[in-house]
Amino acid sequence: MLDKKELQQSEPLRVFLVDLVDKNTNKEELQDRMRELENLVETYWWIVVLQKYQKKDIPDPKTYVWKWKLDEIIHDMLLLKANLLIVGNALKPSQIWQINEKLRVVSEEHKLDPKMEARDRIDLILKIFEKHATSGESRLQIQLAAIKHMWPRIYRMWMDLSKQWWAASWWWAWATRGLWETNTERMKRHLKEQTLKIEKKLVEYAKMRKLHRDARIKKWMPTVGIVGYTNAGKSSLLNGLTKKWVLAENKLFATLWTNVWNLYVITDPVTWRWKEILLNDTIGFIRDLPPKLIKSFSSTLEDSIESDLLLHVIDSSDPFVEERISVVHDVLSDIWANQKKILVFNKIDLIDEERLAELKKLFPDEDKVFISVKSNIWLDELKNLIAKSV
């Protein structure tokens, strides 16, 4: 859901993007990072007005981007009437607080409405998750991730304000220190209670999913999980294999829950023997996805962990295909999904023969198949490979 303030705005937010990378980052990688960040912003229907980056091996401990760069960014934001600063990195609570304090002061000086504010990359991903969460379980997972992400910031804000208040009115702060401690503890207790309630409900969803998995095992029904980098074409593949309609959008994180459909494959063309297989599609992965977000979606990812086979869908037209594969392999390793995998190179209709030959040489020890869901190329071969593998 959108914030009330964002719903009241007649125009979309004007966004200024900034990224900080180390000095060894090449131009292509930098452009890819910015392009991915811009895609995240556009998924939320905001408008990117300018992008800037800073090459520094060590971030500023107070404001992440260095002070002179931040002053330059704020100056440009005023000129372009940008009201939201997105930092393409994960910031510490104190850093995002310091940036927002500076933006608040400038906004008040210039009497801006709405006021300028800042968010980091994790804030942005959480907003997109919140927008796309439609099932009860995915909404609970978003709430849990948001609490874990926001709590350190809330606590830091209270601590910083208390220090300023203490310095300004030390005698009053000393006299009412019990009230301050009570308010802080109340906040901590409330968030802990909310976390426990959400985790308890998620356990119930996990138990229900386990019952379904146990029932499938009793029926000797193999399951295949579809995983991959976000926007690689996982939901499109599910549609192409099962001929069912599942939301398949050209947007990041369009799927946040598990879709499960039946796939029927012929195992013997003479006797027309067939096998029923269950396919499940789930959340896509992305670079630098925080462990706490992965953990929040652990119950949804259980279907992938417990699958007999994984189809790792890859966008063949992506110039950073090897990096994307590495990101997905790392996440799968983190969630202990170590079963057999088939690399499914999708969108081969968008590349030439030379690039296709290069991709075929990658990962020689892995099972691979090259398809195009959109153009219906080699889908039957993929079905046969799935039938042989489970």
Where does the pLDDT of residue 324 fall: very low under 50, low under 70, confident under 90, or very high at 90 and above?
A: very high
Token output for 243: 């001929």
Read off the pLDDT band of 1 (50, 70, 90).
Answer: very low
Note the pLDDT of residue 158: 46
- The pLDDT > 70 percentage for the chain reads 79
Residue 168 has pLDDT above 60, yes or no: no
Q: What is the pLDDT of residue 205?
A: 83
CA separation, residue 157 to residues 98, 172, 349 (Å): 10, 20, 52
Q: Which residues contact 344 (CB under 8 A, 6 or more apart)?
A: 228, 237, 311, 312, 313, 314, 368, 369, 371, 382
Q: What is the pLDDT confidence band of residue 170, given thresholds at 50, 70 and 90? A: very low
Confidence of residue 235 (pLDDT cuts 50, 70, 90): confident
Query: Which of the pair, 120 or 158, is modelled with greater confidence?
Result: 120
Which residue bears the tokens 């594969």?
A: 325
The predicted structure's pLDDT at residue 125: 84
> pLDDT tens digits for 10-34?
567 899 999 998 888 888 888 898 9
pLDDT (average), residues 135-139: 77
For residue 219, pLDDT beyond 70: no
Question: Across residues 296-324, what is the average pLDDT?
Answer: 83
- What pairing do the DSSP bridges indicate for beta strands 273-281 and 259-268? antiparallel
Q: Mean pLDDT, to the nearest integer, of 104-117?
A: 93
pLDDT, residue 18, reads: 94
What is the pLDDT at residue 161? Answer: 40
Q: Which residues contact 292 (CB under 8 A, 6 or more apart)?
A: 145, 148, 149
Produce one character per residue of 94-104: b if its CB has 16 or more CB atoms within 10 Å, e if not: bbbbbbbebbe
User: Is 70 exceeded by the pLDDT of residue 167?
Assistant: no
Q: Residue 127 and residue 308: Cα distance in Å, rounded?
A: 33
Residue tagged 């929040």 (tokens)? 296
Tokens of 85: 């600063």
Long-range contacts of 317-324 (CB under 8 A, 24+ apart): 317/347, 317/350, 317/351, 318/229, 318/232, 319/28, 319/32, 320/29, 320/32, 321/359, 321/362, 322/362, 323/287, 324/229, 324/232
Residue 252's pLDDT is 54
Q: Which residue has the tokens 């991709």?
A: 359
How many CA atoms are closer than 13 Å to the CA of 163, on its beta-carbon side?
5
* Distant-in-sequence, close-in-space partners of 379: CB < 8 Å, separation ≥ 6: 240, 241, 371, 373
- The CATH class given to the 4-130 domain equals alpha beta
pLDDT digits (tens, 9 = 90+) for 363-380: 888 899 999 998 989 898
Structure-model confidence comparison of residues 215 and 163, the more confident one: 215
Q: How many CB atoms lie within 10 A of CB 73?
A: 23
CATH T-level assignment (fold) for domain 221-389:
Rossmann fold (3.40.50)
Helices (H), 233-343: 234-242, 291-296, 298-305, 321-334
**pLDDT digit string, tens, across residues 237-272:** 988 888 766 555 555 555 555 667 888 887 777 777
- Residue 47: per-residue pLDDT: 87
What is the structure's pLDDT at 156? 47
Q: In terms of pLDDT, which residue wins out, 66 or 301?
A: 66
Domains of the chain by residue range: 4-130, 133-200, 221-389
Report pLDDT for 154.
Answer: 61
The more confidently predicted of residues 282 and 49 is 49
Q: What percent of the chain has pLDDT over 90?
A: 27
Pairwise CA distance, residues 283 & 304, whole Å: 10
> What is the per-residue pLDDT for 147?
81
d(CA 97, CA 101): 6
Name the band, by pLDDT with cuts 50, 70 and 90, for residue 325.
very high
Confidence at 173, pLDDT banded by 50, 70, 90: very low
H/E element, 43: helix 27-43
Q: What pLDDT does 4 receive?
A: 45
Residue 312 belongs to what H/E stretch? strand 309-315
The H-or-E segment that residue 359 falls in is helix 353-361
**One-letter amino acid of 125:** I
Collapse the DSSP code of 250 into the 3-class scheme (helix H, G, I; strand E, B; otherwise coil) and give the result. Answer: coil
Matching CATH topology for 4-130 and 221-389?
A: yes
Q: What is the pLDDT of residue 190?
A: 79
Quote the CA–CA distance of 128 and 276 in Å, as a whole number. 35
Question: What average pLDDT does this structure show over 339-362?
Answer: 94
pLDDT at 92: 87
Q: Cα dist. 222→174, 230, 267, 389 in Å? A: 66, 25, 14, 10
Residue of higher predicted confidence among 157 and 236: 236
How far apart (Å, rounded) are the C-alpha atoms in residues 316 and 359?
Answer: 8
